[in-house]
Amino acid sequence: MKKIFILVTGVVFLSGIIFPLSALAHKVKIFAAVEGKSIDGYAYYTSSSRPKNVKIILAGPGGKVIDELISNEQGEFDTEARYRVDTLVKLDSADGHSAEWLITKEEFPADLPEYPGAGETLKDVNTGQEPSTSLAEAATGNAVSLAADTKELAALIRSELVPLQKQLAQLRAELAEQEEKKKLQDILGGIGYLIGLAGIASYIAARRRKEH
Amino acid sequence: MHIADGVLSGPVIAVSSTLALAGVGIGLSKVDYDTIPKAGILSATFFVASLMHINIGPSSAHLLLTGLLGLLLGWTAFPALAAALLMQTLFFGYGGLTTLGANTLNAGAAAVICHALFFPFIRKEGGRPATPFWIGFWAGGIGILLNGLFFALTLFLSDRDFGETILAVLLAHLPIIVIEAFVTGSAVAFLKKVKPELLQKGPLVS
């Protein structure tokens, strides 16, 4: 028994090391971000390959479908951002995989319309979170021209922010991918748990044997 | 061939979890003192084997070793698989907690069937003994094939119009069937040479 123990353990450990850890994966993930006025994103396996032509669903509050897309050959997809609302980007491939990514309301540009029928989200806007809205409102009291200026200014600021948004999106995507990389300690941890479980089982069995 | 959370319907989860639990129970009741280390090591082997990915065309599939576990463990494969699948979910995010039962059942049933089909050939005394390699070869191949069919059945029963995609997934696994057959065949031939008792002892199913 001892010999085979050492042997199989050796094989287990070796195989963990021989097969390049970076190329291991099975889980599908999805990433999406707002860039300018569109939603861009892609689906990927944690092995860095990407699933092609999969169905992507954009869902608003309560799971109502806003949009349905098919990713392209590179696993990427993009669509026009329609509403300023928490949007759940879902992938549902037929082979038993699914993944989600939430784009929060705050990521959408302020001049997009609110999602129709989302009463509770409407309230948030009027609490003065949005500089453009509140500024514009204040402006109507004084002069119309000021309102127009503010709007122009807001648009200018937004356009200046686009490259930053892009960089941020890229960073977040990289971070999400990094988290999924399998680490050697995960593998060793799992093996340890299983051998440990067998150890506990052996102990219980040995005690039972003694009692008899 | 792990099924993720949120893919299966409620009834399918309930039924498969119950059956898997029954399988684990039967497996534990058949465990004897000497099989525990074997089950532990094979459980760890299964855990690691799923990391060995083989890219085939657009899709990628990984080794399972369902056949090997079934051949060597019989019903005890159920608890061994359940533990390894739980670890895969927790550490790697393969499969899911709600689908743990379904994944255990799919692999466990395939393993037990493999044991019933191929273990008698190993134990056969007198007459011309079958070559260990070929016993392992067939057990490995049939094991993954059955695993795939149960996987497809589970998805199908969840009332999803997956017909074509299920077929595509099964086709993508054809090369894996061949690879796994060779791996299991070599493993069994090797074990027969260095540790024949491991294969001859048969208190696991009796």
Question: Of B127, B37, B134, B141, which is closest to residue A1 (Cα–Cα)?
Answer: B37
- For residue B95, give both structure tokens: 């499969």
Decide which of B206 and B3 is more confident.
B3
Cβ contact B162–A94 (<8 Å): yes
CATH architecture of the domain B10-200 equals: Orthogonal Bundle (1.10)
Look at B43 and A197 and tell me if their CB atoms are within 8 Å: yes
Provide the b/e sequence for A38-57 (b: ≥16 CB within 10 Å): ebbbbbbbbbebbbeebebb
Mutation target to probe the A interface, by most A beta carbons within 10 A, among B9, B51, B78, B162 is B51
B-contacting residues of A 4-63, CB under 8 Å? 4-5, 7-9, 11-12, 15-16, 19, 23-27, 45, 47, 49, 52
Q: Give how far B195 is from chain A: nearest CA, Å.
A: 7
DSSP character for A85?
A: S
Choose the mutation target among B48, B157, B199 for the interface with A, i.e. most A CBs under 10 Å. Answer: B48
Cα separation of A210 and B200, whole Å? 26
Chain B nearest-CA residue for A44: B59
Diameter of chain B measured on Cα atoms: 52
Identity of the residue in B4, B47, B55 whose CB atom sits nearest the CB atom of A194 = B47
Report pLDDT digits (tens) over B161-200. Answer: 667 777 777 787 888 889 899 999 999 988 888 887 777 6
B52 CB neighbours in chain A (<8 A) are 15, 19, 24
Percent share of chain A, pLDDT over 90: 5
Q: Which of A4, A11, A26 to mutate to test the interface with B (most CBs of B within 10 A)?
A: A26
B3: left (phi over 0), alpha (psi -120 to 50) or beta: beta
The token pair that represents B128 in the structure block: 């011309």
Residues A54 and A95 sit within 8 Å (Cβ to Cβ): no
* Contact status of B45 with chain A (Cβ, < 8 Å): yes
Question: pLDDT at residue B201 above 70?
Answer: no
3-state secondary structure chain B: CCCCCCCCCHHHHHHHHHHHHHHHHHHHHHCCCCHHHHHHHHHHHHHHHCCCEEEECCEEEECCCHHHHHHHHHHHHHHHHHHHHHHHHHHHCCCCCCCHHHHHHHHHHHHHHHHHHHHHHHHCCCCCCCCHHHHHHHHHHHHHHHHHHHHHHHHHHCCCCCHHHHHHHHHHCHHHHHHHHHHHHHHHHHHHHHCHHHHHCCCCCC
Distance from CA of B83 to the nearest CA of A (A): 7
Minimum mean pLDDT among A130-139, A202-211, B122-131: which range? A130-139
Question: ipTM exceeding 0.90?
Answer: no
Separation CA B108–CA A137 (nearest Å): 66
Q: How many CB pairs under 8 A join A and B?
A: 137
Helix, strand, coil % in chain A, rounded to nearest 5:
55, 20, 25
E strand or H helix that includes residue A57: strand A55-59
**Local confidence band at B27 (pLDDT 50, 70, 90 cut-offs):** very high
Contacts of A23 in chain B (CB under 8 A): 53
Query: How much is the pLDDT for A7?
Result: 59
CB contact under 8 A, A186 and B60: no
The first and second tokens of residue B59, run together, are 């899709």
Dump pLDDT digits (tens) for B95-140: 889 999 999 999 999 999 999 999 888 766 555 667 889 999 999 9
Q: Chain B within 8 Å of A122 (Cβ-Cβ)?
A: no
Beta carbons of A194 and B44 less than 8 Å apart = yes
pLDDT digits (tens, 9 = 90+) for A38-94: 888 888 776 667 777 788 888 888 778 888 888 888 888 888 888 888 888 888 766
Q: Tell me the fold of A26-181.
A: Immunoglobulin-like (2.60.40)
Q: Which residues of B179-189 are buried (b: 16+ CB within 10 A; e: fewer)?
A: bbbebbbebbb
Calculate mean pLDDT across residues B36-63: 80
Instruction: Count H helices and E strands in chain A, helices first.
Output: 5, 7
* Residue B55 reports pLDDT greater than 90: no
Which of B11-25, B45-59, B143-157, B186-200 comes out lowest in average pLDDT? B45-59
3-state SS class at A170: helix
Q: Do B84 and A19 touch (CB under 8 A)?
A: no
State whether residue A64 sits within 8 Å of chain B by CB.
Answer: no
